[in-house]
Chains A and B, each alone.
Chain A
């Protein structure tokens, strides 16, 4: 079956513009995660959705970042007034579910490479 898909695969934008990144999880997966991988840095967790709800948004780097998920499926990560330090690969992952102390295998999308000039 289809895996996690993300669009666009690459995005070049000018500093100060808004960008929207999209993630289509595996069908039936209720948990969805956004991560970021900056050049030379490791992966960092941004936000998690269980269904349409994001219990904790504290992992988002600044208030310029927001995310939503509708219909328990597609999610969008929006970055307003982009800055050069936002340049990174943004990865989405999904898992069948998520409970407080149980981990399920996460399936990663190919990522969106964002370059802010």
Chain B
């Protein structure tokens, strides 16, 4: 079982819809990252959080440490939001030195 699980794997929505992508993890973490990967492969860091909630523009990320769960929300979605969204965790307590990744959510926003 992967230590970081994402859902859904694929999501297609209409422009303007509210989008939620979920991430759950099974071990202790130091922080959780949300990354965006556009076609062509470039990866951009969207958020890094260890508690609570962060907002940047139309993007909101939340984390519940007790439930080992994080969500990424996109409000008023737009076709340019189409990308793969990846949840990644830095495992605590002697885990790997690098990020452990979820398998990604492929988001398509149709006009």
Partner-B contacts on A (CB < 8 A): 33, 35, 37, 42-48, 55-56, 59, 89, 91, 93, 98, 101-108, 110-111, 113
Contacts and interface: CB of A to CB of B under 8 A. Distances in A.
Interface of B: 30-31, 33, 35, 41-45, 48, 50, 86, 88, 90, 92-93, 96-104
Given A89-B41, A107-B45, A101 B98 contact: no
Nearest to B49: A103
Interface of A is mostly: strand
Which 6 interchain pairs have the tightest Cβ spacing?
A45-B98, A103-B31, A48-B97, A108-B43, A103-B90, A43-B101
Given A89-B41, A103-B31, 18 more contacts: A35-B98, A42-B86, A42-B101, A45-B96, A45-B98, A45-B99, A46-B98, A56-B96, A102-B30, A103-B30, A104-B48, A105-B45, A105-B48, A107-B45, A108-B35, A108-B42, A108-B45, A111-B41
A42 B45 contact: no
Contacts, number: 65
Contacts of A55: 97
Nearest to A45: B98
Nearest to B41: A111
A55 B86 CA distance: 26
A55 B94 CA distance: 12
B33 A106 contact: yes
B35 to A, nearest CB: 8
Given A89-B41, A108-B45, A42 B103 contact: yes
Contacts of B50: 103
B103 A59 contact: no
B86 A43 contact: yes
